[in-house]
């Protein structure tokens, strides 16, 4: 109407709403819970992964001599690192969920920055552990003909299947932690832009 009467519209006369800086809190909580479930699953599946087989190791005449072989995650340092890293990430996710609840009662300054930094550390830790475990899993599945290392998954199929499931859960946890980190960085950036 002001334009119809020949009046000029001032630039500052219309209030511009500020952009909402934060995501809905339930999005971050759901991502954190999913990351927690993924890392706990990876930890438990690999930590409880064990298979024993009995096989013939020698023949004395016509009498077979058998031996029992057991595959456990403790036999491979990469799998021990995998279990430890996923357990640390699980504890971290649980701690961040609890701190998220406590933050509402007490005004902790810098909690978002701390959560973002520790999430980045967890991404690095869990991805390194999952990569190391994947390298050992590939060696167990295919062996190495150049080094004359035999594949073990032909004999320990259940052990290898459980290990593959733990790896999938761990890589899913890495993806969720990366998503949390990206969303946290975006939220911190938007909050800083609004404060300026």
Domain ranges of the chain: 25-195
Instruction: Note whether 98 and 51 are within 8 A (CB).
Output: no
Q: Which helix (H) or strand (E) holds 186?
A: helix 157-195
What are 1-32's pLDDT values in tens digits?
455 555 554 555 544 444 444 556 788 889 99
Cα 191 to chain centroid distance, Å, stands at 26
What are 100-133's pLDDT values in tens digits?
777 766 666 677 788 889 999 999 999 999 999 9
The closest of 128, 119, 138 to 171, measured between CA atoms, is 128
* pLDDT recorded at residue 152: 78
| Spatial distance between the Cα atoms of 44 and 47, rounded to a whole number of angstroms | 5
* pLDDT recorded at residue 92: 95
CATH number listed for the domain at residues 25-195: 1.20.120
Q: Which of 64-68, 128-132, 140-144, 191-195 has the highest mean pLDDT?
A: 128-132
| Spatial distance between the Cα atoms of 140 and 11, rounded to a whole number of angstroms | 69
Residue 79 pLDDT more than 70?
A: yes
How does residue 48 score in pLDDT terms, banded at 50, 70 and 90? very high
Rounded to a whole number, what is the distance in angstroms from the first to the last CA of the chain? Answer: 34
């Amino acid at each position: 109407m002001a334009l119809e009467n020949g009046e000029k519209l001032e630039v500052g006369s219309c209030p511009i709403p500020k952009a909402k800086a934060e995501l809905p809190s339930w999005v971050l909580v759901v991502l954190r819970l999913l990351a927690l479930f993924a890392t706990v699953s990876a930890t438990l599946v690999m930590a409880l992964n064990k298979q024993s087989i009995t096989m013939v190791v020698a023949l004395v005449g016509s009498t077979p001599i058998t031996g029992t072989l057991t595959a456990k995650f403790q036999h491979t340092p990469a799998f021990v690192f995998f279990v430890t890293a996923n357990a640390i990430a699980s504890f971290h996710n649980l701690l961040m969920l609890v701190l998220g609840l406590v933050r509402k009662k007490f005004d902790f300054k810098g909690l978002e920055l701390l959560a973002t930094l520790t999430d980045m550390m967890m991404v690095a830790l869990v991805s390194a552990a999952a990569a190391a475990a994947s390298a050992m899993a590939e060696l167990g599945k295919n062996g190495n003909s150049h080094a004359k290392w035999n594949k073990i998954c032909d004999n320990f199929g259940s052990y290898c299947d459980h290990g593959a499931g733990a790896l999938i859960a761990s890589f899913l946890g890495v993806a969720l932690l990366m998503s949390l980190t990206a969303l946290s960085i975006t939220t911190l950036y938007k909050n800083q832009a609004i404060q300026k």
